[in-house]
């Protein structure tokens, strides 16, 4: 039998890992979509220890992505796939004050995505290492870097994972390899989001639980 305390620890640990996993996947997507020369800016809200926020510079081409048939509550509709949505996008050529995103403020080491190699043009065929911004999570800062070769994601590395508390450190060590493969596979299929069982799945939970039980 597992004691209640240990169960509580595992539950907390799973929550921690899930948050970190989501942040890592998100940042990888962010680096890949923002690093194409537009100089992305990061805004971390001042109040936020728990929330981290990014304003993402898009790829510069018109991406107004018009939504079709917006309506009020779409209660009568089924889900809309790309084929069923009419006419698609308008070009987002609006001028405006985009000034709000220009500052990097608040707690905890925000920074802009800083490619160590220049990305150019359409993003096809770039190679190099790209480091993402530091993201504050409730468990501590997370920062990842990706390696690309000829525009393909070949590796995801954790530059920084939470180490403040023994629990976080422990999670970071155990979870990092899982995160890496997860981020890699999500990106290789050009995925924006993942639904699962993903972060709460039997496989993830039980392998993590085993690791935790062995060590505690």
Among positions 167-186, residues that touch other proteins (CB under 8 A) are: 178, 181-182, 184-186
| 193 contributes a contact to other proteins by CB under 8 A | yes
| 190 contributes a contact to other proteins by CB under 8 A | yes
| 103 contributes a contact to other proteins by CB under 8 A | no
Cβ burial, residue 201 (10 Å; 0-12/13-18/19+)? exposed
Among 3, 5, 46, 82, binds other proteins (CB under 8 A): 82
Nearer to other proteins among residue 56 and residue 157 (C-beta)? 56
Name the one range near other proteins by CB under 8 A: 104-112, 143-151, 167-175, 201-209: 201-209
Nearer to other proteins among residue 33 and residue 163 (C-beta)? 33
| 132 contributes a contact to other proteins by CB under 8 A | no
Q: Are 74 and 103 in contact (CB under 8 A)?
A: no
Q: How far is the CB of 40 from other proteins (least distance, A)?
A: 8
| 116 contributes a contact to other proteins by CB under 8 A | no
- Within 33-62, the residues that bind other proteins by CB under 8 A are 33-34, 38-41, 45, 50-62
171 C-beta neighbours (distance < 10 Å), count: 26
Give the Å distances, CA to CA, from 35 to 113, 145, 189, 194: 7, 12, 19, 22
Name the one range near other proteins by CB under 8 A: 106-114, 157-165, 166-174, 198-206: 198-206
| 100 contributes a contact to other proteins by CB under 8 A | yes
> What is d(CA 146, CA 184) in angstroms, rounded to the nearest whole number?
9
| 111 contributes a contact to other proteins by CB under 8 A | no
* Helical residues (DSSP H) of 90-136, grouped into ranges: none
User: Given CA atoms 53, 57, 59, 63 in this order, what sign does their dihedral have?
Assistant: positive
> What is d(CA 75, CA 52) in angstroms, rounded to the nearest whole number?
32
Joined together, the tokens standing for residue 161 give 């994972």
| 165 contributes a contact to other proteins by CB under 8 A | no
Nearer to other proteins among residue 120 and residue 188 (C-beta)? 188
Among 124, 195, 214, 215, binds other proteins (CB under 8 A): 195
Burial 117-140 (b: 16+ CB within 10 A, else e): eebeeeeeebeeebbbbbbbbebb
């Amino acid at each position: 039998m597992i004691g209640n305390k240990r169960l509580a620890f595992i539950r907390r640990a799973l929550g921690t890992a899930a948050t970190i996993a989501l942040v890592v996947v998100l940042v990888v997507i962010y680096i890949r979509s923002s690093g194409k020369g537009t100089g992305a800016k990061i805004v971390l809200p001042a109040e936020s220890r728990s929330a981290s926020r990014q304003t993402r510079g898009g790829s510069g081409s018109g991406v107004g992505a018009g939504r079709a048939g917006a309506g009020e509550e779409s209660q009568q509709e089924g889900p809309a796939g790309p084929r069923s949505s009419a006419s698609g996008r308008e070009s987002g050529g609006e001028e405006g004050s985009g000034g709000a995103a220009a500052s990097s403020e608040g707690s905890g080491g925000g920074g802009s995505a800083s490619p160590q190699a220049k990305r150019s043009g359409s993003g096809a065929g770039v190679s190099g290492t790209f480091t993402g911004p530091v993201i504050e999570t409730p468990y501590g800062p997370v920062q990842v870097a990706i390696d690309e070769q000829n525009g393909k994601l070949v590796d995801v590395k954790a530059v920084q994972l939470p180490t403040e508390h023994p629990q976080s450190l422990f999670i970071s060590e155990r979870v990092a390899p899982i995160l890496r493969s997860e981020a890699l596979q999500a990106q290789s299929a050009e995925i924006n989001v993942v639904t699962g069982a993903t972060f709460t799945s039997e496989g993830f939970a039980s392998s993590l639980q085993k690791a935790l039980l062995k060590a505690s």
